[in-house]
Amino acid sequence: MTRQGLGTWDDDRRPILPARLARLWASLARLRRLWIDLGRAAQRQGASRAALILRAWRLRREAGFWPREALSEGLLDTRLPDSALEGRIAKRRLKAAQRRVNPSSLACLTEDKAVFYPYCAALGLRVPRLFAVFATPIGFTAAGEALGSVAAWARFFDSLPDEFVVKPADGVYGRGVNRFQKSGDGYVDATGTPYSAAGLYDWLSSGGSFRKQVIQERIFCHPDLERLSGTRSLQSLRLVTYVDPRGGVEVYEAVLKIIVGDGLVDNF
């Protein structure tokens, strides 16, 4: 490490101070956003921001929740009784517990949708039909046909149903999920943005950190759920289960996830 003038440099002669300042600025921006959101939550509850901060500190100390996680989970609602907080566990602690129980060798069966969907289908479980797995430079259809060029993918897009869903194979929280509908010679996504076949290929190729994406059947919620929530978008029931060493299955929790407003997915 050397020093030159007023700047600090790393071994390959690139300034590192601006990067540190950028990280500091990003951290301050997150704190500012959290401060604002805590104020809005306190106003809705008729409580003080200080009361929410004290509750956040307690949840951090006792259950490992970061303030943003506790806020998004609704745990900073001061109207909740203390009994509602008992047994709650932060996600990082939950994942640590899962790693002690779930074999890491089987993680791909649940964490990689390109594997999960065919696996469920092979077991006879009803899941949305998988049409293809998009990846670059080569993807493939459910029938096993390799697709690499824009022209090959364009022909495949044309063979899809009028509506279909695209989601990252290794995504979480509904991030990156989109819905497409055929419109004339092109496609329109959930936001109303039009795409040509080449444009859809470019959109899929620019998946950012997502290595591959699944293209699958779009299914709709039950009419009773549609009347309840006012949307046809799919809403699901999450079951938390435990499989004991003898193969017995216990269901510990069932959570119905309701879509709010114009949301495409039932995550929040």
pLDDT per position as a tens digit, 177-228: 999 999 999 999 999 999 999 999 999 998 766 789 999 999 998 999 899 8
Alpha helix stretches (DSSP H) within 107-178 = 108-111, 113-122, 150-159
Euclidean distance between CA atoms 156 and 150, whole angstroms: 10
If phi > 0 it is left, if psi is from -120 to 50 it is alpha, else beta; for residue 230 that is left
- How many other CB atoms are there within 10 angstroms of residue 186's CB atom? 15
Residue 7 has pLDDT above 50, yes or no: no
Q: What is the four-CA torsion angle of 243, 249, 252, 258, rounded to 10 degrees?
A: 100
Task: Kindly report, residue by residue over 24-72, the tens digit of the pLDDT.
Answer: 888 889 999 999 999 999 999 999 999 999 999 999 998 899 999 999 8
Q: Are 147 and 160 in contact (CB under 8 A)?
A: no
Q: What is the pTM of this model?
A: 0.73
